[in-house]
């Protein structure tokens, strides 16, 4: 895959296929096409130590999602509910859509 090329979009449902969270499913929160990384909801959680900003606020440990490489996640088709490869197709009205390679259904990013 060339750098910056990705079939994933925000709000897509993906399954982790490699790493410590293998097999878990979540929703894509952010896509960083420059670094080929995605942030998935409740996947790859890290603890970030944050210093106190001023005397009134104390320091704390924040738990948040870290990025995961695009190659370690696969899209879950909303129609067949399986992890699938993604194809592209141009419809009759000229719009380009993503399609599921297994069931040939169009994939719309759920809101």
Report the distance separating Cα 99 and Cα 87, nearest Å: 5
Give the per-residue pLDDT at 109.
62
72: helix, strand or coil: helix
Q: DSSP class of residue 18?
A: S
Task: Return the CATH fold of 13-78.
Answer: SH3 type barrels. (2.30.30)
Give percent of the chain with pLDDT exceeding 90.
86
Predicted TM-score of the model (pTM): 0.87
- The whole-number average pLDDT for the span 2-7 is 74
Give the per-residue pLDDT at 54.
86
Give the per-residue pLDDT at 50.
93
Report the distance separating Cα 86 and Cα 69, nearest Å: 17
């Amino acid at each position: 895959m060339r750098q910056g090329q990705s079939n994933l979009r925000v709000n897509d449902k993906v399954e982790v296929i490699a790493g410590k969270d293998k097999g878990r499913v979540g929703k894509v929160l952010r896509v960083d096409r420059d670094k080929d990384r995605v942030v998935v909801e409740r996947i790859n959680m890290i603890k970030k130590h944050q210093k106190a900003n001023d005397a009134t606020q104390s320091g704390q440990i924040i738990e948040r999602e870290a990025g995961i490489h695009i190659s370690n996640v696969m899209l879950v088709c909303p129609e067949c509910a399986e992890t699938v490869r993604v194809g592209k197709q141009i419809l009759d009205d000229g719009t380009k859509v993503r399609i599921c390679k297994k069931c040939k259904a169009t994939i719309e990013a759920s809101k």
